[in-house]
Amino acid sequence: MTRAARIAALDAKARTEILILDGAMGTQIQDLKLDESGYRGARFAGWHVPVQGNNDILNLSAPEAVKAIHQAYFDAGADIVETNTFSATTIAQADYDMQAVAGDIAREGARLAREAADEVAARTGTVRGVAGAIGPTNKTLSISPQVNDPGHRDVDFETVRQAYFEQAGAMAPFIDFFLIETIFDTLNAKAAIKALLDLRAETGEEIPIIISGTITDRSGRTLSGQTASAFWSSVRHARPWAIGLNCALGADEMRPYVSELARIADTRIIAYPNAGLPNDMGEYDETPDQTARHLGEWASSGLVNILGGCCGTTPDHIRAIAAAAKPAAPRQPVPSRKAMMLSGLEPFELAS
C-alpha cells in the first residue's frame, strides 16, 4: 500500500473513531536492562565514548529489540507508532560524538517502524501508520544556557533547521507523518517546521505534519513561556494534521490545556500524557486502568482525535486507553476563524 493510500485510510478512520498512538519507547527500552555492551552491539563495540542511554542507536545495534517494541504497541491496539528517532539529529548525537551516524539512526529507525507496521497490517488486514518522531534536541534557541549572558545561544536557527532537514530526509521514504514532539521551545519547533516545508518544496512530497508541545508545569506554559493558545497561534501556519500536547504532565494536570487547544484549533487534537507524575525514584506509578480512566473521559467529552501515552506508559496502558476510547466519537475540529492571530507569551487575535 502506498503512503497516500495509508494516509487516506487513516483520514477516513479518524472521521468515525479516535485513533490510538503508541506509548513510551524509553520505558520499554529500560525494561530490556541493557548494559554498555548491550547498547554498543557489534557495530559500536569499540566506540571511544560511553553510549549507554543513547536509545536511538539501538536502531543500529539492536534493531530486532526496537522492532519488537513497535509490534507490541501495534498488538495492543495502536493505529500509529512513533519511530525511535527522538534524538536522531546531529545536534543531539553530538553528546556521544555520533553526529556522522545521525542520518543512519534516523533512516533505520523509520525503516524498522515501517517494517513492523507493514507486517502487522498484512497479518490483520488493517492499516497501520508510522510517525517520524522529531524531538526538541538538547539545545534551545529561545533561552540562554548562561545565566550571566542572556543573549548567548549554543546554536543558531539555521544550524537547528539543517539538523532537522537531514533527519527528516532520512526518515521520509518510510513514514506517513512527521511528528514534531515534546516542544518546550517554540523557536526550535519553528526550525523543524521550516525544515519540513523545505523538504516538501525540494521533493514535492506532502507528508502531513503533527505538532505536539509540552506544558512543563501547572503554570500552563511551555518552558519558553507560551500558553497553549499562544503556542497554537505560533505554529498554525504549518497547517498541521493534528496539534496537541505530550509529556511533562499526567493526564489530570494536562486536561485544561488539551481542552484549551480543543476549543480553538481547526484541526485534530492529539494528546499523550505521562503515566502520572514521577515518584521520588523517577518512576511512574499510574496503572493502565488509571490512565485509561482519565483519557476515556477526555474521549467522551469530545476533546480529542488521537490518544496515546508518553513517559511511563506501556503496551498495557495503550491497550486500556484503546478500550476506553472505543465507545467515543472523535472531536469535530472547530471552523477556521477569519482573524489575524499573533502570539508572544499570550495570544493576540484581531477579528476581521
Angle at 315 between CA 312 and CA 318, to 5 degrees: 85
Answer whether 251's CB lies under 8 Å from 285's CB: no
pLDDT 10s digit of each residue in the chain, 352 long?
A: 999 999 999 999 999 999 999 999 999 999 999 999 999 999 999 999 999 999 999 999 999 999 999 999 999 999 999 999 999 999 999 999 999 999 999 999 999 999 999 999 999 999 999 999 999 999 999 887 887 888 888 899 999 999 999 999 999 999 999 999 999 999 999 999 999 999 999 999 999 999 999 998 888 999 988 999 999 999 999 999 999 999 989 999 999 999 999 999 999 999 999 999 888 888 899 999 999 999 999 999 999 999 999 999 999 999 999 999 999 999 999 888 777 777 888 887 776 6
Helices (H), 274-314: 288-300
Alpha-carbon span 112 to 107, nearest angstrom: 9
Query: How many residues are given for the chain?
Result: 352
What letter would DSSP give residue 271? E
pLDDT tens for each residue of 310-329: 999 999 999 999 999 999 99
Cell numbers for 71, please give them: 509490534
The pTM is what? 0.96
Q: Is 311 annotated as a binding residue?
A: yes
Class of residue 261 by CB neighbours under 10 A (exposed 0-12, middle 13-18, buried 19+): buried
E strands in 95-221? 129-134, 177-183, 209-213
- 241-265 pLDDT, tens digit per residue, is 999 999 989 999 999 999 999 999 9
Per-domain residue ranges of the chain: 3-351
> How many CB atoms within 10 Å of residue 260?
19
- Distance, C-alpha 18 to centroid of its chain: 17
Q: Checking DSSP bridges between strand 19-20 and strand 306-307, what pairing results, if any?
A: parallel
**Which CATH fold would you assign to the domain 3-351?**
TIM Barrel (3.20.20)
What residues does 180 pair with on adjacent strands? 134, 211
